[in-house]
A and B are shown apart, each in its own frame.
Chain A
Amino acid sequence: ETGVTQTPRHLVMGMTNKKSLKCEQHLGHNAMYWYKQSAKKPLELMFVYSLEERVENNSVPSRFSPECPNSSHLFLHLHTLQPEDSALYLCASSQEGQGGYEQYFGPGTRLTVT
């Protein structure tokens, strides 16, 4: 595997379900991010992990819970979501301290909450 991978690619869940999104980066980066992309809206930063510590949560509702067990893996745990949480969830990674800090994205998980 190369780059940033995300699973699952598509997820349909009811409002009472609990599910998790997984992200894995194979780039040796030290920072990882979760973004939310809703229709016709700019990407919204949800969470930032730098050196495995959460440094930003950007006022995200508590029904979204991130986990970063190591520098290569990032999870987003979901529970009791609302229909307005339906969106494309993108994971990204970057190497802080080098270059332009460009972020490399995974293919995203398209989430539908019914």
Chain B
Amino acid sequence: AQKITQTQPGMFVQEKEAVTLDCTYDTSDPSYGLFWYKQPSSGEMIFLIYQGSYDQQNATEGRYSLNFQKARKSANLVISASQLGDSAMYFCAMREVIPNSGYALNFGKGTSLLVTP
């Protein structure tokens, strides 16, 4: 069953505006981690931001912030002051435990963001 849901296949935003990319998740673990990655056309997955399930405050990293609503099981990414270089695929991911081992990331299908001049 899909554990990470990104309902927006594509989004447009004008340069210098803010944009919110949606992510909902499903887990029964009390301890989990949520991540956002950016994938430009070059293919590399770039780590943006992390939110732990026990973190009291929403994570922020520069122009990126994570709107974490635990009761709703949502972890939306907010990009402020969009730049043309922000055009890329954005993936939400959740850390999952591999029994008797370590961890892996379970990714959503991604949202394609296009920033227009």
Residues of A within 8 A of B (CB): 31, 33, 40-43, 45, 48, 50, 55-56, 88, 90, 92, 94, 96, 99-108, 110
Partner of B101, one of A42, A50, A92, A100: A50
- Whether A48 lies near B47 (C-beta < 8 A) is no
Number of B interface residues at 8 Å Cβ cutoff, please give it: 26
Q: Chain B's nearest CB lies how many Å from the CB of A35? A: 8
Closest to B101 in A: A55
Q: Chain B's nearest CB lies how many Å from the CB of A41? A: 7
Partner of B109, one of A42, A90, A107: A42
- Whether A56 lies near B104 (C-beta < 8 A) is yes
Partner of B45, one of A42, A94, A99, A105: A105
With A43-B91, A101-B33 already in contact, the answer to whether A96 and B103 are too (CB < 8 A) is yes
Partner of A107, one of B35, B44, B100, B104: B44
| A102-B45 Cα distance, complex, nearest whole Å | 12
Q: Chain B's nearest CB lies how many Å from the CB of A37? A: 8
| A107-B44 Cα distance, complex, nearest whole Å | 4
Task: List, in ascending order, chain B residues with CB within 8 A of A40's CB.
Answer: 109
- Whether A107 lies near B42 (C-beta < 8 A) is yes
| Supplied contacts A42-B91, A43-B107, 16 more A-B pairs, CB within 8 Å | A31-B102, A33-B104, A45-B106, A48-B98, A56-B104, A88-B43, A92-B45, A94-B103, A96-B102, A96-B103, A99-B50, A102-B47, A103-B35, A103-B47, A105-B46, A105-B47
